[in-house]
Copies of this chain bind each other. A is one copy, B any other.
Amino acid sequence: MNLKHSRQRDSIKEFLATRKDHPTADVVYMGVRRIYPNISLGTVYRNLTLLAEIGEIARLRVGDGVDHFDYDISPHYHFVCSRCGCVKDLELPFSEQLTEKAREGFTGEIEGQMTYFYGRCAECSRE
């Protein structure tokens, strides 16, 4: 199962690198199509899944039923607006303390933690 180079995959990574808004597969698809008009949604999905599996990008399941993707794989917190659905990074430095505390009373292996904050984003809370 050796990886081969592919222009489409590169393009998907490049596109994701320019975005800080954690786009969905469909948004990536529409973005990459400006460079590769013939690329298919299936290819986008396949590559996003692949890249997430090998750890080059992160797949965010924020709970809105659609997967979001993040070029930034460093552990950090996300905010999800329950009105407009936007996903934003939080400034809050990521703390492993909670993970360690969780490990204390737990039989089994805790590898990591996923935290999403939800509420209304700046724009949506102005009404």
Q: How large is the interface on A (under 10, 10 to 19, 20 to 34, 35 or more residues)?
A: 35 or more
* With A90-B102, A102-B77: A108-B119 Cβ-Cβ less than 8 Å: yes
Closest to A126 in B: B108
* With A92-B101, A102-B90, A108-B124: A116-B119 Cβ-Cβ less than 8 Å: no
Could you say which residues of chain B place their CB within 8 Å of the CB of A123? 108
- Report the bound CA distance from A77 to B103 in whole Å: 12
Q: This chain: how many copies in the complex? A: 2
- Report the bound CA distance from A125 to B115 in whole Å: 23
* With A108-B81, A108-B125: A102-B114 Cβ-Cβ less than 8 Å: no
Instruction: Say yes or no for A36: interface residue by CB 8 A criterion.
Output: no
Q: Could you list 19 further interchain pairs (A-B, Cβ under 8 angstroms) beyond the known A91-B105, A115-B115, A115-B116?
A: A79-B106, A79-B108, A82-B111, A92-B98, A92-B102, A92-B105, A95-B98, A98-B115, A108-B120, A109-B119, A109-B120, A110-B119, A111-B118, A112-B117, A112-B118, A113-B115, A113-B116, A114-B115, A114-B117
